[in-house]
Amino acid sequence: MPCFDWGCTMKTYRTHYSKDVSAEEYNTVITVSGWVEDIRNLGSIAFVILRDRKGTSQITVFSKKTPELFKKLIDLPRESVISVQGVCKENSKVRNGYEIIPEELSVLSVAQTPLPLGVVDKVESELETRLDNRFIDLRKPDVQAIFTIRDNVIHAAHEYLRAQGFIEVHTPKIVASSSEGGTDVFRLKYFEKEAFLAQSPQLYKQSLMATGLDRVYEIAWYFRAEEHNTRRHLNESTAVDIEMAYIQSEEDVMHILEHLVHAMWRSAGECKAELETLGRSVAVPKVPFVRISYDEVITKLKGRGSGIIWGQDLGSEDEKLLGEIMKDAGTDFYFITRYPLASKPFYTMPEGGDHSRGFDLECKGIELASGSQRIHNVDLLTERMKACNLDPAAFETYLKAFRYGMPPHGGFGFGIERFLMELLDIGNVRECILFPRDRTRLSP
């Protein structure tokens, strides 16, 4: 099958991707383009492996029949970009069943040597080296597969949320109010004023609940100036954020979240070729996910010897232990509900005395998302701000949205890189984003 319908007869660099050649094309002239992955020169016959987006094809060239083409091809440095037109011949000796006998060759770009990073070398490079040369690193099929899957799951998120009546919004990333709590923010100069990079769309998406849009989602970047150096933190990351109005309780929000995760997980499962490249399989989780209250969590953890006391946040060890407990109970995914009010942000709806309507979604001991029913009463909201040592005056533009009619609402934030890390069992979150920003990395 030809790769694109160009709608005209113009000469093109590519009539087929390597994977799209089938018996139909045998003994016809095709054009392929891509990177020279390898050249195996046997003297008077040479095999050039050409890599494109979908795989590789073999170009077989003979020194006696086509001496000029032979010389031109075998002298190319690896990773040069070429376009080859030639006859596609069936050949069972070749892995994908065919080879191309070239008639015309255009050298589109000659690669410098040596490469800073081998694409198909027999030695693995360190993540540091790979990220420094990400454009080459991304030529590796397994690295590329992560981003194809990423594209698929994000697409699935859009589809699911739209089907549920959510509309996509884009809120400012340069913001005036300082921290909504929880994390350090990047400061920047905004003409004569001080501004910050958004740590989340929280305040804006809540404000939108006062508009009648009712259900909004945003898939965007956010920025956190934490000086951590771990394999699961980024200073610039992406998230799926939603906010929905007229909810009865946080249960409505959790319902959307679990179905969203389910839809994304399922769409990843459909990326068969990429999963095979990565050597992974994904087991689509069953919905609904298990709900376990914070109080039950504490009881269970204590029962397994943890020294945690009520009111504390779960540390890494406790989260891991809980992951094991839940796995023994037959589930990787679980909501921790009814968190202590004190450990959740100011906008979280209180429940009873010390509890809240805040929840986290965890997967195997890693926090994937957190959300809650929010406070929609402005007096309570102001009171909670003060209790969290925040100055209501600094949040006046946010509070204003609550004074003129604000329905009950809730939402969540869901980290995309963390999700991919869990989904594909990747050891370092930096692998899940094209150009990671971490404690020390600002380029590329």
Active site residues: 224, 226, 232-233, 367, 370, 418
Give residues 363-392 in contact with RNA (rule: CB under 7 A). 367-370
Q: Please name the residues in contact with 71: beta carbons below 8 A apart, sequence gap of 6 or more.
A: 63
Closer residue to RNA (CB): 127 or 282: 127
Helix, strand or coil, per DSSP, at residue 285: coil
> Which residue of 15, 18, 58, 337 would you call a contact of RNA, by CB under 7 A?
58
Residue 202, token pair as written in the block: 């929280």
Instruction: Using the minimum distance from each CB to RNA, give the nearer residue, 251 or 367.
Output: 367
Residue count of the chain, please give it: 444
Q: Do the strands 193-197 and 187-190 form a parallel or antiparallel pair, or are they unpaired?
A: antiparallel
290/400 with CB nearer RNA? 290
Minimum CB separation of residue 40 from RNA in Å reads 4
Strand partners, 337: 293
Does 71 sit near RNA (CB under 7 A)? no
Helices (H), 179-229: 202-207
Tell me: does residue 118 bind RNA (CB under 7 A): yes
CB of 405 to RNA, least distance (A): 27
> Any contact of residue 287 with RNA (CB under 7 A)?
no
Instruction: Answer yes or no whether residue 16 interacts with RNA by CB under 7 A.
Output: no
Region of 228 on the Ramachandran plot (φ > 0 left; ψ -120 to 50 alpha; else beta): beta
CB of 100 to RNA, least distance (A): 10
Residues 311-350 that bind RNA (CB under 7 A): 313, 315-317, 319, 343
Phi-psi region at 349: left, alpha or beta (left = phi > 0; alpha = psi -120 to 50): beta
E strands of 246-295, at which residues? 290-293
Minimum distance from CB of 113 to RNA (Å)? Answer: 4
Decide if 37 contacts 55 (C-beta within 8 A).
no
Residue 183 binding RNA, by CB under 7 A: yes
Strand ranges inside 18-117, DSSP E:
29-41, 45-52, 55-62, 81-90, 98-109
What is the total count of residues that contact RNA (CB under 7 A)? 73
Q: Does 62 bind RNA (CB under 7 A)?
A: yes
Name residue 36's beta-bridge partners.
50
Give the x/- contact pattern for RNA in 23-52, rule: CB under 7 A.
Answer: ---------------x-xxxxxx-x-----
Work out whether 229 is an interface residue with RNA (CB under 7 A). Answer: yes
Site string for RNA, 230-249 (x = CB under 7 A): xxxxxx-x-x----------
Report helix, strand or coil for 22.
coil
Among 12, 60, 148, 382, binds RNA (CB under 7 A): 60
